[in-house]
Amino acid sequence: MNVIHNVDICCGLAWGDEAKGKIVSELIKKNKYDWVCRWSGGNNAGHTIYIDNKKYATHIVPAGVFYGVKCFIGPDCFININALEQEMNYLKDAGFDTSNIYISGRAHIITDEHINIDNEKYKKQQGSTGTGIAPCARDKFARTGIQVKDCIDFPYKVWNDIASPLYGDILCEGSQGFWLDINYGEYPYVTSSNTLPYSACSLGFTHNEIRNIYGAAKVYDTRVGVDPFFEFSSSESHKKIFNDIAKIGEEYGTTTKRLRKVEWLNLDKLIHAINISGTNILIISKIDILEKINKYVFIYKNIHKECNDIKNFQKDINNIILSNCKYIEQIIYSDNPITVELFSNSNI
């Protein structure tokens, strides 16, 4: 009988764009997973991965496809068949095997009508990506939606995850981030999905089988879309530095291509996200960007705290996080790119 052994989860602790794709990529190299799974969202999210120094971007297919690992798109996901076909062809043309990609029959189908409604109603109002996710979610919860299993000519492999549950070692690949979660984000400036690790259990395992929760954050905060709660530092001097960070850090959304808004790392929000998500291994990336501008600032208890150098910056952050987050076992700081060696040596 096939059973689940260990489940690792990678989730975003901010507003998305926290290098989850790169972290997942390195975890696949380090561990022998049987499955890499996506538990929520649709093609409104994007992951960037580098293979042999070549850049690839995916929006719905899990990163296991780049390493020959079986991929599963779960029942809480939203499927745009045309977008999925484009992504499959993109991967095939790049030389990757797509034969081990499976979609839950209970995932919901995004229609042209959903996309039209999204663009007409939500794109300007709430900064939606216009991919039809919100209207599709509306129909799902109104119980009028269309599931993958309802499509007679669905062109890809459908996995009956009730009759044949997942098995072995599983890596769950989160999309977007904590502050975009439909329940915990700054409503209504949120996505239409559950982005927190607890919702990964919709893939078909219990919380008892979770081994590690890898929480991803950047050394500064970024955000795409409308959100009046994001900006804290409003002075012109801060804004000039944020523009420099955005340019040096190449802060453009994988899906939207929009320039991301930048803010200093808000530790109050990060601590809350760590504690609610159950993160035990924290990865903070892009520390090299602050080193390039030689400015080390974070926000704690609604006050700006500036440090003289990166060493004191990391020390202060570590002390604050360890004092407030009881589940943290490891804090990892990373330059860009993230490498597998980071997961063998704690920086804490």
| Beta-carbon count within 10 A of 225 CB | 21
Predicted TM-score (pTM) of this structure: 0.93
**Catalytic: 221?**
no
**Catalytic: 93?**
no
Beta strand residue intervals within 93-223, DSSP E:
101-104, 108-109, 158-159, 168-173, 210-218, 220-223
Provide CB contacts within 8 A for 263, sequence distance 6+.
220, 221, 222, 223, 230, 231, 232, 233, 242, 299
Query: Which one of the listed residues 47, 59, 108, 114 is annotated catalytic?
Result: 47
pLDDT at res. 225? 76
pLDDT at res. 125? 60
pLDDT at res. 185? 94
pLDDT at res. 275? 98
pLDDT at res. 52? 87
Q: Which domains does the chain show, CATH number per domain?
A: 4-218 (3.40.440.10), 220-344 (3.90.170.10)
pLDDT at res. 347? 53
Query: Which one of the listed residues 17, 118, 221, 227 is annotated catalytic?
Result: 17
Per-10-residue mean pLDDT, the chain, length 348? 88 94 93 96 87 91 96 97 96 96 97 92 68 95 97 91 86 95 93 95 94 97 80 78 92 72 96 98 96 96 95 97 97 78 58
pLDDT at res. 344? 61
What is the distance between the alpha carbons of residues 123 and 339, in angstroms, rounded to a whole number? 36
pLDDT at res. 102? 97
